[in-house]
Structure 1
Amino acid sequence: MIRTILMGCVIAAQLLSACAAHPTFVEGQSVVLLGKLVLKGSEPHTYPVLQMPNGIDWKLEGLTLPEASALQNRDLEVRGTVLQRSESGPKPASLWVEHYMQQD
């Protein structure tokens, strides 16, 4: 009996931690994300991406290429509005950047 209860608790804890690792965002939601800014694509189609520790990439809209180039491979805290969720098909999640701050 106790063994069954403990196994149920372990399974519930694993499910809850999985949900916390990949939060669900809603289009139009204001969020703060932490990650490393990298540039993806090849010229002339280069674009900035925030790579998060949980493996989700966010395409950053509203940053100029010179701004993004200066911040490449740096850890950032980015505040913005969700334009497209990562679950919305093959396109990456995208975020309209309202403010960013370099993390040191």
Structure 2
Amino acid sequence: MSGFTQINAADAKAMIANGDVQIADIRDAMSYQSGHMNAAQRVDNQNLNNFIAATSKQKPLIVCCYHGNSSQGAAQFFAEQGYESVYSLKGGYEMWKVTCPELCQHS
């Protein structure tokens, strides 16, 4: 049994609207800078330990990548670190920016 749930953009949008959700974006720095989900924090090997130390294990965590593939492994990893509710965003940021453009930040 996996420790995470796959979530589509509409369900993720509803979760974000309903409350306190954490979002981890695991894409590279250039992709993140060109656009990301509102309130998403970029997480990579350099800041992973700080992210884990600074975020709540009780609040839902949505993991976002490019197309929803890499985020599944990352979501499983976060679940193994003790996060209680972990979600992998189906379709990743590529789907999110088409579905929810009003909830994207661009630099």
Quick check: which one's helix share is greater? 2
The structure with the larger Rg is 1
TM-score relative to the length of structure 1: 0.29
Q: Which has the higher contact order (CA 8 A, sep 6+)?
A: 2
Quick check: which one's strand share is greater? 1
